[in-house]
Amino acid sequence: MSAMDRFDPEILTLFTAATATQAPEAKLPERGDALGLREVIDSGLANIPRPSAPGIESSSHLVGTSDGSLIELRWYSATEDKRTDRPAVVYFHGGGRIGGKIDHYDGVVRHYVQETNVPMLLVDYRLAPEHTGTTAPEDGICAVEWLIEHADELRIDTDRIAVMGDSGGGGVAAGTAILARDRGIAIARQILIYPMLDDRNTKADPTLEGLVAWNHDTNWTGWNAVLGDAIGSGGVSPVTAPGRLNDFSGIPRAYIEVGDLDIFRDESIAYARGLYDAGIPCDLNVNAGVMHGHDLMSFDMELTRRTLAGRFRAIEAL
């Protein structure tokens, strides 16, 4: 089997078509250039497909953080949804902890809300290298607390709040769940989509070399921006890097999805194993032939429809 034959046929077809019509990709910034990598990430995320999502309304809210800063929270719900005891999801966008904006994910979140009828709160958490350590999950806790404080006006059942995110945002969601556990704040579920969990995952895997969209050098750049010289060392907080977690007691049940052609595959499996060992339910989905961020390439692939369907079920289970 050739290396390219390891990809799902739909992804391979999409690659072939893109190669025929697009200019060669620009060279990635050097390892450690977080701001240069941010430009690449933001450029890519600006082109995320935006499925039509009529009937979804949104509102923007500026919320104070634990250190006195302000972050934006964007609330999405179906206009016709009049329920008074709704579940809700707090969502963290992708971007390797150094890139991404909530505007990039506006269409994605609208699509989730339309398909599940579950309202969502999209969090403009702060990014590294300007904001390091536990800042992003601390912002996540601020978002969860704001949602709880406004539960009556938003018609939310505070016993059915989930955290969700993809890639770097998946790691922030997991860190927020850990921090919530430690502070006695109830989270019902965590939905982690190819999550970035472990700062020690920075050595190339020869079985994935040349096949992955987010590689070990870019992963080092992202984690180095968050942790600086502490990257890979002892004492890194699991709130920042959830892959460091040893005590899984009290962590909410999880839905975890990752492709087998993703450098986050093994850390996702390890995190699920930690949940299993603690007796916590976890729906782990490792998809063959699937790369990091496949769903953000096209919403029209049958592959994307299948993976989205799993996420919809996890959201609806709230």
Residues with a catalytic annotation lie at 167, 262, 292
By C-alpha distance, which of 116, 134, 115, 117 is closest to 125? 134
| Backbone region of residue 68 per phi and psi (left: phi > 0; alpha: psi in -120 to 50; beta: other values) | left
Angle value at C-alpha 258, between 285 and 145, nearest 5 degrees? 95
By C-alpha distance, which of 102, 94, 96, 92 is closest to 33? 96
Indicate the length of the chain as a whole number.
Answer: 318
Other Cβ atoms closer than 10 A to 45: 20
Contacts of 21 (CB under 8 A, 6+ apart): none
3-state percent helix, strand, coil for the chain, nearest multiple of 5 = 40, 20, 40
Burial letters for 157-176: b for 16+ Cβ neighbours within 10 Å, e otherwise?
A: ebebbbbbbbbbbbbbbbbb
Contacts of 302 (CB under 8 A, 6+ apart): 10
Angle between helices 106-116 and 302-316 (to 10 degrees): 60
Burial class for 43, CB neighbours closer than 10 Å (0-12, 13-18, 19+): exposed
Q: What is the DSSP string of 150-191?
A: THHHHTEEEEEEEEEEETHHHHHHHHHHHHHHHTT----EEE
Q: How far apart are CA 246 and CA 299, in angstroms?
A: 37
Q: What is the DSSP letter of 60?
A: E
- Please report the sign of the dihedral spanned by the C-alpha atoms of residue 176, residue 181, residue 182, residue 185: positive
